[in-house]
Amino acid sequence: MPEIERYTAIGCPKIHLRLYSSVMRAQLIMFFPMSLSGAAQRWFASLDASRRRTWDDLAQEFLRQFVFITVIDVSRRELEALRQDPEKLALYGIEEGIARGLWPESSPFDSKGKKPSGKQR
């Protein structure tokens, strides 16, 4: 731990907090690369020093670079949940497949609430 004068309840507590905060934020910047590996470590190594001068800057750049990963994971899970039996999909045309309810979010009714006749247009 870096040398910070210990607070003894004498003096301004706000000054102590500011000093402690600035020293610890510098520590966050210094130790953060050790929490990375692989592609994240390569990203950090290529990050321009001007973009990681403060902890807030570094945290913002990190999120900007990697926050999309959570969106992709959710989308991938959603797509996997939508798997259809390929044999059933190949047997029917689009309109007939919709009429048979093979697409879960599709309605077997047209926009006027009528069932389709099953005839291909």
Own/partner contacts of 79-82, CB < 8 Å, gap of 24 or more, are: none
Q: Residues 6 or more apart from 104 whose CB is under 8 A from it?
A: 82
Residue 105 in tokens: 């979010």
Rounded CA-CA distance 68/92 in Å is 37
Residue-wise pLDDT tens digits, 86-114 = 665 555 566 776 777 766 555 555 556 66
Would you say the pTM of this structure is higher than 0.75?
no
Residue 33 in tokens: 């690369």
| pLDDT value for 2 | 73
Rounded CA-CA distance 68/87 in Å is 34
